[in-house]
Amino acid sequence: MKLRRKFFVLGSVAALATAAAVLPMATSSAAAACAPAWSASAVYVKDNVASQSGHNYTAKWWTQNESPATHSGQWDVWIDNGACGGTNPPTTPPTTNPPTTGTKMAAAPYIYPGWGNPPAPSTVVNATGIKAFTMAFVLAANVSPLVTGLTLFVVVGFHGFIGINNPSGMPVEWNILMIYGAIALFGFHQDVSILATGQMPLLLAAVLFSMFVIPLYGNFVPSRVSFLLAMRYYAGNWAYNIWFVRKGAEEKLDRLKKAGGLVYDQLAKLVPDPLQLEVAKTMMCTSRFMHFEGRPLLEALPAAVDDIDAYEWHEGEVLGGTILGWNFGDGHLNGTQLLEAVQAQCGFDDGEVRVVMVESQPLLSPMMRWKIADARRGVIDEGETDITRMRDATPWPTGAYADALVARSARN
């Protein structure tokens, strides 16, 4: 699947609802007045309208210098609303103000679109898991059997809901452990108060160190501490990586002793149609691109490989799970150490495997660091992305980001 088609698949996920809402406009009367004429220098965002060659068009997402007449297909940026009557001269480019959900923040605790500035307390509580930790303190206080019982009911419902919905990348056993631990510790031992730890200074010191010092250090210096110990798992902010394996070189991974074949190989047995298989493989990376913390990939991808169409994309967590037989979602597990171990057994040549490793966003900082490693040569490039600049960027490469990928592929 060529580069442009690959990103059209990624873009269609976000654009589908918009397209469904505005497609009926294509059947409107041919006598509709023409919108302002499209301009190659103008920047258009979602729902902006323009006309060209006697047709009105609506933008699905951010675009510039993409002619509506040639970019209005099913997976393209423009929707053809049908013929229009009359002409209008080009106007000044549409404004591209940020979403009304809030202005840009220098740092949140972590920056997410829609949190507002300042962030609404209820929104932050729901998004970061503070609510879950608050329940833990309520349980530890043992205010009364009634309060403990009600809190346990909420804990069981909270983790049970997550478990039965089986979201992508969610370890079911972790939620089972939380339910069991809450009932065993606080349901059957309500007579034990958290204040009792004061009688054991070393235990109290260890608990406080684990609850405050390690999480704080892990949030300010995420490269040194797992997101689990940093208690950042509800923030959706942890290290991740994408493995790019040159087509034809994947056979070298068979030299590893694994419990099963690569996920793509297993998928090929279930999806025999080549085009549908490529779409399915691309969709496996969609969740990473659609996540706000995935935006640094827009800057890292052009530096990673010369011809992105010559590589298969593998989500690091999925590939790492196949190689190791187990995974818990932390990108540190699938980074340079795993790459070195794989290289020792597989012996990839220069350029056959490139891994883009993106570190978590530190607390109170808008910068996300990333590096690129080659299986044979080690780290070949490093950089950092100011995530605040990505607030208005689409999850898939457009504009300068897409041009950088296409230009590098064209040189090869």
Residue 117 pLDDT: 53
Residue 19 pLDDT: 43
34-48, 156-170, 371-385 — most confident range: 371-385
Across 307-326, average pLDDT: 88
C-alpha 171/C-alpha 148 separation (Å) is 26
User: Exposed e or buried b for every residue in 35-66, given b needs 16+ CB within 10 A?
Assistant: bbebbeebbbbbebbbbbeebbbbbbbbbbeb
Pairing relationship of beta strands 367-374 and 353-358 according to DSSP bridges: antiparallel
The CA distances from residue 402 to 83, 89, 203, 407, in Å, are: 30, 29, 54, 8
Give how far the C-alpha of residue 361 lies from the chain's centroid of Cα atoms, to the nearest Å. 13
Judge whether residue 44 has pLDDT over 50.
yes
Which residue bears the tokens 């294509």?
Answer: 26
Residue 118 pLDDT: 55
If we measure between CA atoms, which residue out of 305, 323, 324 comes closest to residue 313? Answer: 305
Q: Are 408 and 392 in contact (CB under 8 A)?
A: no
Q: If you average pLDDT over every residue of the chain, what do you get?
A: 78
91-100, 122-131, 233-242, 361-370 — most confident range: 361-370
Judge whether residue 399 has pLDDT over 60.
yes
Domains of the chain by range and CATH? Answer: 14-83 (2.10.10.20), 130-220 (no CATH), 240-410 (no CATH)
Tokens for 99?
Answer: 């979403």
Range of weakest confidence among 122-126, 196-200, 221-225, 391-395: 122-126
Q: How confident is the model at residue 14 (pLDDT cuts 50, 70, 90)?
A: very low
Residue 45 pLDDT: 81
Across 128-133, average pLDDT: 54
Across 304-317, average pLDDT: 88
